[in-house]
Structure 1
Amino acid sequence: MTKIRLKYVNEYIDRTGKLRRYFRKGGKQLGPLTGEPGSEEFMSAYAAYLAKKSPAVVRNMNKDSLAKLIVDYYGSRYFTDLKPSSRQLYKYALEPLSKAHGHRCAITMTAEHAETIINRIGAERPGMGNLTRAVLRRVFQFAIKAKRRKDNPMLGIDPFKVGEHHTWTDAELRQYEAKWRLGTRQRLAYALLLYTGQRVGDVADMTRADVADGAIHVVQEKTGARVWIEIHPELHKAMKACPAKGLSLIGDAAGRPLKRPALSALIREARKAAELPSRCVAHGLRKAAMRRLAEAGATANQIAAVSGHKTLKEVERYTKAADQRKMAKQAMDKL
């Protein structure tokens, strides 16, 4: 029989010879795990600890409630098989939902009820509405697999229309650089994002061990793509002026590693200090990198080699803001 191995499960034999299991995370022992791994009793407690909830709360939940369905989903392979970044994103959508609507019956929820919940979220935050819609669709698919429902009430709910991330203009890039000179962490974070063209999470994960022969090796978390990015002279200046204190190329003030949200927040606060508009977010620097490559005459395949995109359609979407007049002149100069 295959032994189930789960993260954060600590097991040992006590002095009476009994096997005991505990959930341990972040150096803290959160509580016991009873029953056999894979059993409903064990997995419910395990899922509760993952969701940072007390197993006592789970036991008191209505077994047909949305909150209980979400907790059970956390304990299923449909959730545990996801990449860590995806699990974090799913919980970002599901935790507020469980708190606000966890008391509702998930088994009898109609498509109309589901759409009402999504519409309330999307009315103010359309992007969050779309994320919640997509994640809940997976949760109810799990409910169908578990034979707790026969249909998925999320099917047929249309997504909200949302704008794309703004691509930083050259004027905005200059304004940021004027505020944050070489030698500051804000300039280093900006340079790593702009001159590698990578996603925020991948930049946050970059370490000194990834640098070799004048390039940075990246294994993209989202796609698994492996890319080598030549270190641009401007990025080299930023790295030399503000060398990493720890292993990460961009860490916190003490050199400790940053997570994606913290790096985004660093750029957000730096953008405010530079008096740039709120549309200038960290991901927009990746788009600015793609735009500048397109304006410099790089082909779609060359840009994809930097960005790690699998399709040229995605490259085209990222380079829509490329300066048409400049590119048209370059095209005519080739005649």
Structure 2
Amino acid sequence: MKKQRKPYVTEKTGRLYYRMTWLDGNRRRERYIPLPNDEDSADFDRAYWAIRSGTAEILQEAPRTSWEALIQSYRASRAYRSKKPGTRKKYDSVIEQLREKNGNKDVCKVTRAQIRAIHEKYAHTPRKADHQLQVIRLLLNYAKNELDWIQTNPAEGIKLFGSQKEWQPWPDTLQNAFVKACQELGDDIALMAYHLGTGTGQRPGDLCGMKWEHYDGEYIAVLQDKTAERLWVYCPDRLRRFLDGQPKRGAYMIPKNLTQPLGYDALERRFRKIRTAIGKAADGHVMHGWRYTAAVALAEAGATDAEIQAVTGHKTAAMAQKYRRQAAQRRLSRQAQMRRE
């Protein structure tokens, strides 16, 4: 028999919360306060009864300069509202963590050491660590320049980890190894993501949003999350043959179930499992590299900047020019060395 939960305890995205509700005038409000996940533990009981009795630290009145107040002010600002939906979504992934863990804490008391500790905590995933630091720095700049809460930004000057060779195009040998590993492990979803990524040149997050109804046998209508624009991307022959041979397991090409897509984080976990199976040869290569693989292949085939942009959706020609320079360097290197023979 399933154990009955304590009143007001609910589960969201695999985590337990205490759900508080109240009326604000005629509007119904609610708040979810995180709880320890082990309902049989003493820590859970202490946290639960502290919240229910109103003595929990998280329920105490927050200072005027709290992280919660900063986040609310920033989200109401033009600086936040003018950003693209995809950019806001990426910011929100960090902002919600800050709200949950530090909502009632005073922004004015945050130290450089605390921020550096957050950055170092994610050192094993450098891009994630740098993104955390950049969003914190942005919020503290807002607190400093727009709200006049602090005189200096303690996040300024903390060095980013920077590029970790994460944007390299995939050589043919590694692509073949990835396909083989997917087949050996029976991971049709990772294999689908690979073919969509190298075939359309789109960002991994955008691959997750592709529906079967977006594919007409020649083109895929891609809605780019970063730009909020719809692109019609022509599918090369290899991708068309692959898609035409796949069963439809749901509305999405990369499905979680019949009606929902698999999320980026779940897809990346599958990707890492395949990369581990390949071994050292795959070190330093990431899913985003499939986008670069497609762009470099286009450049090597002689595509113009405008043609590359029509596929990848880049707003400026700068990246397309970079791909063409890489392709030209490889071709010219061969020509130069052939002269020696």
Give the match's secondary structure for 1:297. Answer: coil
Q: How does 1:48-127 map to 2 (within 5 A)?
A: 48-49=31-32, 58-60=58-60, 62-63=62-63, 67-69=67-69, 72=72, 76=76, 85-86=86-87, 88-94=89-95, 105-109=106-110, 112-113=112-113, 116-117=116-117, 120-121=120-121, 125-127=125-127
Tell me the equivalent position of 1:154.
155
In the alignment, the residues of structure 2 paired with residue 327 and residue 253 of structure 1 have an alpha-carbon distance, to the nearest angstrom, of 48
Letter in 2 for 1:93: V
In the alignment, the residues of structure 1 paired with residue 105 and residue 325 of structure 2 have an alpha-carbon distance, to the nearest angstrom, of 44
Give the TM-score normalised by the residue count of structure 1: 0.70
Aligned length: 300
Are the counterparts in 1 of residues 84 and 228 from structure 2 also a CA contact under 8 Å? no
Are the counterparts in 2 of residues 64 and 106 from structure 1 also a CA contact under 8 Å? no
State the 1:232 CA deviation: 1.6
- Flag structure 2 segments of 5+ consecutive residues without an equivalent: 1-11, 36-50, 337-341
Tell me the equivalent position of 2:128.
128
Tell me the equivalent position of 1:167.
169
In the alignment, the residues of structure 2 paired with residue 133 and residue 141 of structure 1 have an alpha-carbon distance, to the nearest angstrom, of 12
Which one scores higher on RCO, CA 8 angstroms, separation ≥ 6? 2
In the alignment, the residues of structure 2 paired with residue 123 and residue 257 of structure 1 have an alpha-carbon distance, to the nearest angstrom, of 29
Are the counterparts in 1 of residues 58 and 104 from structure 2 also a CA contact under 8 Å? no
- Flag structure 1 segments of 5+ consecutive residues without an equivalent: 1-24
Listed one character per residue, the Cα deviations across residues 156-214 of structure 1 (whole Å, up to 9, x for unaligned) are 54433323423211111122233445993333221111101001111110112212362
Q: Residue 35 in 1 paired to residue 24 in 2?
A: yes
Are the counterparts in 1 of residues 250 and 257 from structure 2 also a CA contact under 8 Å? no
Q: 1:291 aligns with which of 292, 296, 302?
A: 296
In the alignment, the residues of structure 1 paired with residue 123 and residue 179 of structure 2 have an alpha-carbon distance, to the nearest angstrom, of 36
Are the counterparts in 1 of residues 295 and 308 from structure 2 also a CA contact under 8 Å? yes
Tell me the equivalent position of 2:192.
188
Q: What is the percentage of aligned positions where both structures have the same residue?
A: 26
Tell me the equivalent position of 1:7.
none
Give the TM-score normalised by the residue count of structure 2: 0.69
In the alignment, the residues of structure 2 paired with residue 232 and residue 95 of structure 1 have an alpha-carbon distance, to the nearest angstrom, of 40
Tell me the equivalent position of 2:227.
223
Give the match's secondary structure for 2:231. Answer: strand
The alignment yields a C-alpha RMSD, in angstroms, of 4.3
Distance 1:193 1:108, change over 3 A: same
